[in-house]
Chains A and B, each alone.
Chain A
Amino acid sequence: MRLSDAALGIVLLGAAAAIAWTARGFPLVPGQAFGPSLFPLLIAAGFAACGAGLIVREARAGLRGPWIAAGPLLGEARARFDALLLLGAIGFYLAAAPRLGFVPTAAVMLLALVRRFGASWWLAVATAVLGPLALHLLFAEWLRVPLPLGLIASIRY
C-alpha cells in the first residue's frame, strides 16, 4: 500500500492528534510543571511537523498522482491472499497451539503454507514433518523453552 506524500501527511497529522489527545490525560508529577506527557507531546509535535511538511511539499510540487496505490503485495490477488494466509498462520498458531501443542500445530501451519507457495506435496509433507521436530528438539529439549506440549504431553509424560 503506497500513500502519496499528502495522504501520508494526513495520516501523520491524525497520529499526532491521537497521541496528543491520549497524552493530555497523563497526570503531572507533583511539584513539577511537566510529567509523563511531556515527551509524547514532543513526539506528537514532531509527527505534526513532518505531516505538515509532507503535505506542503506535495502541494508545492503539484504532482497529481493517486492518493493511494496498491503496491506489489496488495495489488495482486494471489500475493494478497499469501500475505493474509501468512498472518493468519500466526493467528492459527496462537489459537491452536495451547491445546494441540507445538509440533502438530506447526506441522499443519507448514503444510498449508509450503503447499500454498507452490512446492510439491512431497516437499510440503517432508517440511511439515521434519521442521517442527527439529525446532522442538532445538528449543524445547536443548534450550528448555516451555513450548506448548498439548497432545504430546499424554504420549511422552
Chain B
Amino acid sequence: MIEALPQALALILTPQTVLVGIGAALFGLFVGAMPGLSATMAVALLVPVSFFLDPVSALTAVVMTTAMAIFAGDIPAALMRIPGTPASAAYVADAYALTKQGRAELALGICLVASAIGGLFGTAVLVLLAPWLAEFALRFSGVEYFWLVALGLSCAVLVAGPDPLKGAVGLLVGLFIATIGQDVTSGYPRFTAGIPNLLSGVSFIPAMVGMFAIAEILRNLPTIRTAAEVQTRRLGSILRGTGAVLRRHPVNLVRGNVIGTAIGILPGAGADIAAWISYAVGKRFSKEPEKFGRGSEEGLVDAGAANNAAIAGAWVPALVFGIPGDSVTAIVIGLLLMKGIQPGPDIFLMNPGQIGAVFLAFVLANLVMIPIGLVAIRLCAKVLLVPRPVLTPLILLFCMVGSFAIDNDPFALVIMAVMGVLAWAMEENGIPIAPAILGIVLGDPFEKHFMTTMMKGDGSLAYFVSRPIAAVLAAITALVWLAILWGLVRRKPRTVTA
C-alpha cells in the first residue's frame, strides 16, 4: 500500500478534492449538529451531488461528512440534551449533566478529542487490516462469497437490536425489495406490477434517500413546531482539562477504540451500536458506575471514541468483500458501483491510488476535526436556531431533486416516497432498518452466488460446504444463527413489548 502513497497524495491534493473536502466537512458538521438529521441521512443527501464528481472527490466527501457528522452530534447532546445523531444518544445524559455542572467546555472537549483519536485508531486498523484481508479473499470463489454474504446478513440480524425476530423481518424486507426487477440468472421480470421503471430493480439511491431522509422527516413531524432550548452561555477554552481527563482514563480510551472498530467491522452495526455497547462495557468495568448517566467523564471517553472508530471500521468489509459494515458504507457501495468501481479484494490491485486516497481522507478528516470542531462548537449555538419549519421542507425538496438527478427519472420520487413510508412504518413497529439496507445491497449478489452454486452443484446442497473455507464460513454462520435462536428462546415473554 505504501508504494501507492505518492499517487494517492496526488489524487487527494487537487484543488477540487480539497474544496469538496472542506465543503463536505462543513455540511457534515451542520447535518450532524441538527437534531433529527443523522450521518447516514447526510451521506444519502450528498450522493446526488457527489454523483457528478470524480471518484476520489466523491469518496473524500463521504469520509469527511461522516466523520464530522458523528462528532457534531455530540454538540447538541451537550448543549441541549438532544443527540444530533443517534450515535450520540448513548451518553447524552452524561454530556448534558456536565453542562449543567458548568463544565460544558470539558464535555465538548472530551467528545472532540476522543472522537479524533477514535477516528484515527479506526483508520489505522482499516489501513492495516483491509489489504491483508483482501489478499486472503482473492482465493475465494462463488461458494465462499455466498457464505460470506450469508454471514454478513446473519450478523446484521444478530446485532440489529433487542428483538432478533424483528431483525430477521427487516432483513427479509430488504431481500424482497432486491428481488424486484429482472431476475439475476434468467432475466425474468419479478414483482414489477407491469411498471417498466421497475424492470432494472428498485433504484438504490432514491430508496436510500427515502428510507433515511423521508422516514426521519415523517418521524419528526409530530414535534416540528416545538422550538429547542439551547444553552447560550459563552463557552470558555474547550481543550483545557481535556488532556488530563484522557490521561486519567487510558483504558477507557483504548477500549472504546477497540470496541468501536470491531463493531464497525461487523456488518449491520455502525456508530450508534458501537457507542451503546462501549458505554455499557465502560459502565460494567468502571470503579464508579453510579456516575454513568450523571456526568461520567469515563462514559464520554468510552463511547465518544467508539462511535468515531466505528466509521472507519465499517469500511473494512465494505472495501474488501463488498459487504457494508454500516448504513453509510451501504450507500458507499452504491456510490462505488455507480462510479464503475467494483468493491472486492481486487479493488486494492485495480485502484490502489484511489483506495490510498480514501485512507488519506480518513487521516486528514480526523486531524482537521479538532480545529474545525473548535470553530463549530462556537458557531453551533447559532446554527441550532435554524427553525425546523423552514429546514424540513427544504430537505424534502433537496431529497426530491437529488433522487431525480440520479437517473433523471421522475419515477424515482415515487420510489423515494414509498420507501420512506415503508421505513417509517417499519421503525414504528420496531423492525430495524439496518438489516433491510443490507438486504437491499446484498440481495442481488446473495441470490447470484446462491443460484450459481446451486447450478454448479446440480441442486445438491452438499456442494455448499465442499470447499474448506466455505465449510468454515458455513459453520460460523450456523453459530450466529444458533446465537440468534438462543436469544429468542431465552427472552422472557414479559419484555416482549419493550
Q: A39-B450, A113-B396, A114-B393 are in contact. List 12 more A-B contacts (CB 8 A).
A: A26-B188, A34-B454, A54-B165, A61-B494, A61-B496, A72-B222, A73-B218, A82-B221, A93-B413, A97-B410, A139-B405, A145-B405
Do A131 and B394 touch (CB < 8 A)?
A: yes
CB<8 Å pairs between A and B, sample of 30 = A2-B428, A22-B191, A32-B459, A33-B459, A34-B451, A34-B459, A36-B186, A40-B190, A46-B172, A53-B488, A54-B165, A54-B166, A57-B496, A62-B493, A63-B493, A73-B222, A79-B222, A82-B224, A90-B396, A94-B410, A94-B413, A110-B394, A114-B389, A114-B390, A118-B224, A118-B225, A123-B387, A127-B390, A139-B405, A147-B404
Interface residue? B9 (CB, 8 A): no
Instruction: Give the contacts of B455-473 with A (CB-CB under 8 A).
Output: 455, 459
Of chain B, the residue at the smallest CB distance from A35 is: B186
Q: A1-B425, A23-B190 are in contact. Are A132 and B459 (CB under 8 A)?
A: no
Instruction: Give, as a whole number of angstroms, the nearest-CB distance from A65 to chain B.
Output: 7
- What CA separation (Å) do A86 and B217 show in the bound complex? 9
Contacts of A60 in B (CB 8 A): 493
- What CA separation (Å) do A146 and B190 show in the bound complex? 30
Contacts of A152 in B (CB 8 A): none
Do A127 and B497 touch (CB < 8 A)?
A: no
Do B225 and A117 touch (CB < 8 A)?
A: yes
Secondary structure type dominating chain B contacts = helix
- What CA separation (Å) do A8 and B166 show in the bound complex? 10
Chain A interface extent, by class: 35 or more
Instruction: Give the contacts of A83-142 with B (CB-CB under 8 A).
Output: 83, 86-87, 89-90, 93-94, 97-98, 102, 106, 109-110, 113-114, 117-119, 123-124, 127, 131-132, 135, 138-139
Do B169 and A47 touch (CB < 8 A)?
A: yes
Of chain B, the residue at the smallest CB distance from A31 is: B455
Instruction: Give, as a whole number of angstroms, the nearest-CB distance from A103 to chain B.
Output: 11
- Chain B 426-438 interface 0/1 with A at a Cβ cutoff of 8 Å (1 = within): 0011000000000
Do B221 and A83 touch (CB < 8 A)?
A: yes
- Chain A 33-77 interface 0/1 with B at a Cβ cutoff of 8 Å (1 = within): 111101110010011001001100110111101000001110010
Do B401 and A147 touch (CB < 8 A)?
A: yes
The CB with the most chain B CB atoms within 10 A, among A1, A22, A32, is that of A32
Contacts of B190 in A (CB 8 A): 22-23, 26, 36, 40
Interface residue? A3 (CB, 8 A): yes
Do A39 and B179 touch (CB < 8 A)?
A: yes
Instruction: Give the contacts of B303-358 with A (CB-CB under 8 A).
Output: none
Interface residue? B417 (CB, 8 A): yes
| Residue positions of B touching A, CB distance < 8 A | 48-49, 52, 165-166, 168-169, 172, 175-176, 179, 183, 185-186, 188, 190-191, 217-219, 221-222, 224-225, 387-390, 392-394, 396-398, 400-401, 404-405, 408, 410, 413-414, 416-417, 421, 424-425, 428-429, 447, 450-451, 454-455, 459, 488, 493-494, 496-497
Q: A57-B496, A94-B413 are in contact. Are A50 and B393 (CB under 8 A)?
A: no
Of chain B, the residue at the smallest CB distance from A12 is: B169
Interface residue? A29 (CB, 8 A): yes
- What CA separation (Å) do A138 and B400 show in the bound complex? 14
Instruction: Give, as a whole number of angstroms, the nearest-CB distance from B191 to chain A.
Output: 6
- What CA separation (Å) do A58 and B493 show in the bound complex? 8
Do B428 and A1 touch (CB < 8 A)?
A: yes
- What CA separation (Å) do A27 and B185 show in the bound complex? 12
Instruction: Give, as a whole number of angstroms, the nearest-CB distance from A57 to chain B.
Output: 6
Do A73 and B429 touch (CB < 8 A)?
A: no
- What CA separation (Å) do A124 and B179 show in the bound complex? 42
Of chain B, the residue at the smallest CB distance from A82 is: B221
